[in-house]
Structures are given as structure tokens and as C-alpha cells.
Amino acid sequence: MSAPVAAPSVTRTTVLTARDVGVVIDRATILGGVDLEVRTGEVLALVGPNGAGKSTLLGVLAGDRVPTSGSVEWQGEALAAVGVGELARRRGVLLQETHLSFPFRVVDVVRMGRTPWRGTERAAHDDERVAQALLAADVLDLATRRFPSLSGGEKARASFARVLAQEPVLLLLDEPTAALDIRHQEHVLAQARLRARAGDAVVVVLHDLSLAAAHADRVAVLDGGGLAAVGPPTQVLEPDLLSRVYRHPVDVIAHPVTGDLLVLPRRAAVHDTEPLR
């Protein structure tokens, strides 16, 4: 039941530090007292039930949402003090949904990821990086398709390619596997792991706890806007904690062949359950 580990040569350095972060919206506390470090060379999964604050925390870490209280620093510098252009070069964000006003081709959507590097030396590599991203996200065959014509899963992969083309050192991915089939779930998270092995930092919001166990180096469990636990999957994904957080009995077992952790909801027979009221 071993968690994935980054390549031995990768040095893990803290790039983001959240201290006592809180977010209040319309008098409702969405996050409260969150302390978290984001490190290069690893995949950090944010998990928790609906409304736990995962996407809000991701927005705070991205610098897209200013916390009501607490602070976020990029290697000692206040994240809010980082300029918009520099922030775009440092971190790439994949939202749950991407809406475009015009019917761009997929290759043009991916090329948008190169915008932060316009006017810099890296712009000379735009075509190469776009081609690599199309291949890495498995959307090369969709390059000339119009984005609105794609299925939900294809749009998600094209948007992921845009983030890869951006070449950020921090990837922030909000439910990147939600619309994907099994093959592409594994493919996208394997690409995220490759970025971590190359020395980037990856934060990913996941609902599938077995995927988090298989692909994350650390897991942060959010519950009611606070952190219930943070640590390696084998320490954090534990039946009592998960059953309490998700308000549903959960079993955690080892796969009989691979030894991977499998997180399974305990199911009662249909005739033994009561309808929700």
C-alpha cells in the first residue's frame, strides 16, 4: 500500500505557504484557519465532501481570490504582491469548466497558454510547446476541431493541454478527471505526476479517493472549511476519518494485485435504506 513518490533527484521546495487562511462569503465561513504548504516535486490532492471549500482554497492558492483573513506567500513574498503577468508565468489554473465566447480551434485554445511568455525569449518555443502539450493531453487528433463542438471530456483535456503549454512551475487543477473516462483519468493524472517528477508543484482537487491514493504524494482532507488531516495517503485515507468527514461508512482496502489503496463506500441493500427527506 505504498504511495507514489517523486523521483529521488527531485528536491522538494515549498513554493506556496498558506497561514491561517479564512474566506467568508455573505457571512458564511467557507474556509477557516487553513495552514498548508505546496511543494515542488509532488502532487498534493485536495479532497473532501461537497461544500468543504476545496475549489475556494484552490482559488486562494492561485491568487484569484483574496482571503478574508490569513496570508498566502510565494517563497516569502506575499502572493498578492506578485504582478499579474509574473503570476501567469508561475502558475497555471485549470477550472472545472472552460467557457469561450468564440468557436476557437483546439490548437488555438492551447496556444492561449503561451500568452504569458509573449515578448520573452521563451516565445521562440511556442510552436514546440503547443505541439508537446497537444500530445501530452491526448488531443492532437482534435487540434483542428472547434472547441464548442467537443464533448465535456474532450474540452477538459484541451483545457489541460493549455495549462501544460503555459509551462508553469505550479499547476492548480480543479477536478480535472470529473468528465473523463477511465483511460483519460489515468492519463491526465499520470501527466500531472510527470510534471511533479520534473520538479513542478501540482495541486489537484479530486472526488475519487482511490485516484487520490494512487497518484498523490500528500492528501489534504477538507471538512467544513477546515483541514481535517494532511499527509501521505496511507496515513490520511483511513476509514474512521473518512467515514466521519463524508458522513457515510467507508472501507479502505489494499488491491489484491497491486497493493494500491481502494476507498470504497459501504453499501447497504436497497431495501435496507431510507429515502432522503
pLDDT, tens digit (0-9, with 9 covering 90-100), for 38-84: 999 999 999 999 999 999 999 999 999 999 999 999 999 999 999 99
The stretches of the chain forming alpha helices (DSSP H) are 54-62, 84-90, 106-111, 126-136, 152-166, 182-197, 209-215, 233-236, 239-246
This prediction has a pTM of 0.92
Of residues 131 and 276, more confidence is placed in 131
**Residue 269: what pLDDT?**
57
Asked whether residue 4 is assigned to any structural domain, the reply reads: no
**Residue 1 pLDDT level (bands cut at 50, 70, 90):** very low
Q: Answer yes or no: are the C-beta atoms of 158 and 139 closer than 8 Å.
A: yes
The C-alpha cell 504569458 sits at 116
Mean pLDDT of the chain: 93
Q: Are strands 201-205 and 69-74 parallel, antiparallel or unpaired?
A: unpaired
Asked whether residue 260 is assigned to any structural domain, the reply reads: no
- Residue 45 sits in a domain whose CATH number is 3.40.50.300
The C-alpha cell 510552436 sits at 127
Asked whether residue 201 is assigned to any structural domain, the reply reads: yes
Domain that holds residue 110: 14-238
Asked whether residue 276 is assigned to any structural domain, the reply reads: no
Asked whether residue 143 is assigned to any structural domain, the reply reads: yes
Of residues 271 and 87, more confidence is placed in 87
Strand, coil or helix: 228 = strand
**Residue 102: what pLDDT?**
87
Farthest-apart Cα atoms in the chain, separation: 65
pLDDT, tens digit (0-9, with 9 covering 90-100), for 172-222: 999 999 999 999 999 999 999 999 999 999 999 999 999 999 999 999 999
**Residue 277: what pLDDT?**
63
Asked whether residue 52 is assigned to any structural domain, the reply reads: yes
Asked whether residue 24 is assigned to any structural domain, the reply reads: yes
Tally of structural domains, the chain: 1
**Residue 75: what pLDDT?**
94
Is the pLDDT confidence value at 156 over 90?
Answer: yes
Is the pLDDT confidence value at 148 over 60?
Answer: yes
Asked whether residue 5 is assigned to any structural domain, the reply reads: no
Q: Are strands 14-25 and 201-205 parallel, antiparallel or unpaired?
A: unpaired
Nearest to 96 by CA among 1, 176, 189, 42: 176
CA distance 160 to 172: 10
